[in-house]
A and B are shown apart, each in its own frame.
Chain A
Amino acid sequence: DAGITQSPRHKVTETGTPVTLRCHQTENHRYMYWYRQDPGHGLRLIHYSYGVKDTDKGEVSDGYSVSRSKTEDFLLTLESATSSQTSVYFCAISESQGGPGELFFGEGSRLTVL
């Protein structure tokens, strides 16, 4: 299994509080991704990174920010959590050049915003 660790795995928080999810990899892969998974929507890309300090938005980036100060860590921050951000969040990594190759996924972080 690819060395990807997500933390926390479960979190319950209240509306308006900040939340940070961490993705840590030991594979030294260049690309890192944050997806959210909701019933009926499959996985939707929030943000991704193509290198240290290099990030870009995905299709559902509003309300989320990311940072990547080291190759191995990709942080997803909800500045002020809302109930619509209740979801399961997945981190993924890839090393493919010249187009998306195989993604390796973490086990997910389940976030509940009350």
Chain B
Amino acid sequence: SQQGEEDPQALSIQEGENATMNCSYKTSINNLQWYRQNSGRGLVHLILIRSNEREKHSGRLRVTLDTSKKSSSLLITASRAADTASYFCATDAGGNKLVFGAGTILRVKS
């Protein structure tokens, strides 16, 4: 079964708007990661946040982690058409295994 579940399943916004995606998970984690997947391509790592961190930034990306609620959010500010992709959260499942959620499909309209 999946550890992380993303919400919403799909999101459509205008260029320049912010996009927020959420991830909930079930068990304790060491870290949580976010990945992007462009259509027909492999996944690309965006950001990793450790369990003792609450917020992390990378360019236009902001990730928050609330371990008490077992949830994380990914905020993309000032979105661009090139941000159109699927976004996945992933959590550790023991050892060096990562478990992925079903993803959020983001469409940015220009």
Give the interface of A toward B (CB within 8 A): 4, 31, 33, 35, 40-45, 48, 50, 56, 58-59, 90, 92, 94, 96, 99-108
Contacts and interface: CB of A to CB of B under 8 A. Distances in A.
Interface residues of B, number: 26
Interface stretch (B13-21, B60-68, B70-78, B92-100): B92-100
B43 A103 contact: yes
B90 to A, nearest CB: 8
Contacts of B92: 99-100
A96 B96 contact: yes
A53 B92 CA distance: 23
Given A42-B103, A90-B43, A108-B42, A103 B98 contact: yes
Nearest to A40: B102
A107 B100 contact: no
Nearest to B45: A102
Nearest to A57: B97
B30 interface: yes
- Name the residue in A4, A31, A43, A96 with the highest tally of chain B Cβ atoms < 10 Å from its Cβ: A43
Contacts of A100: 30-31, 33, 90, 92, 95-98
A4 B42 CA distance: 11
A102 B93 CA distance: 14
Interface in B37-54: 40-45, 48
Given A42-B101, A100-B31, A48 B96 contact: yes
